[in-house]
Amino acid sequence: MKTTFDLVSEFLLEKFGAESMEKDGENQLSLAINERLILIHHFPDSEKLLMASSIAPLPQEGREKLLLRLMQGQYLFHKTSGMTLSVDPGGTFIALQACMDTRSFSTDDFFTVLNNFVHVAEFWEKECTDGGDTSTTVAGTDEQTVFPAQWMRV
């Protein structure tokens, strides 16, 4: 019987081709979409998938203002579509992460989440590198910002 990770791997291979992905072990792969590297890790015991991507380096100057914008965007997941912004333990880069339960999961659901992930990552990359004005810019459209209820962590 195929695992969830096998099904996801086959789906990604069919959708993006072998040149866009690389298996990094039994439960992990790297996927390149729009020049963005996305790590996808499967936790078989809990049937969860984690997606993660580096968004931008954390600058030495202006950190406080940038971190405030990141936290404001994270508020009620308003500008993250239910995903989580974070800073690595070394304080060198900003990352976007999404975790999903795969027990009631279809390839359509996965593609929607992956599509949202790419759009949110692109939005926050621009915010972090251009110092965008978060008061007037919204991540994605209403269609892109829909997220499953199980992602709510309020």
Domains and their CATH numbers in the chain? 4-151 (3.30.1460.10)
Quick one: which of 123, 131, 125 has its CA closest to 63?
131
**Running DSSP on this structure, what letter comes out for residue 79?**
T
Confidence of residue 141 (pLDDT cuts 50, 70, 90): very low
Strand order in the sheet with 21-23: 21-23, 28-33, 36-43, 48-57, 93-101, 84-87
For residues 104 and 123, give the distance between their C-alpha atoms in angstroms, rounded to a whole number: 28
Looking only at the bridges linking them, the beta strands covering 28-33 and 36-43 are: antiparallel
Predicted local confidence at residue 146, as pLDDT? 40
Dihedral sign (CA 102, 104, 109, 111): positive
For residues 5 and 45, give the distance between their C-alpha atoms in angstroms, rounded to a whole number: 12
Mean pLDDT value across residues 72-92: 89
For residues 1 and 91, give the distance between their C-alpha atoms in angstroms, rounded to a whole number: 42
Mean pLDDT value across residues 129-152: 44
Mean pLDDT value across residues 105-124: 90
Q: Given phi > 0 = left and psi -120 to 50 = alpha, else beta, which region is 77?
A: left
Confidence of residue 131 (pLDDT cuts 50, 70, 90): low
Task: Please say if the pLDDT value at position 63 is more than 70.
Answer: yes
**Running DSSP on this structure, what letter comes out for residue 75?**
G
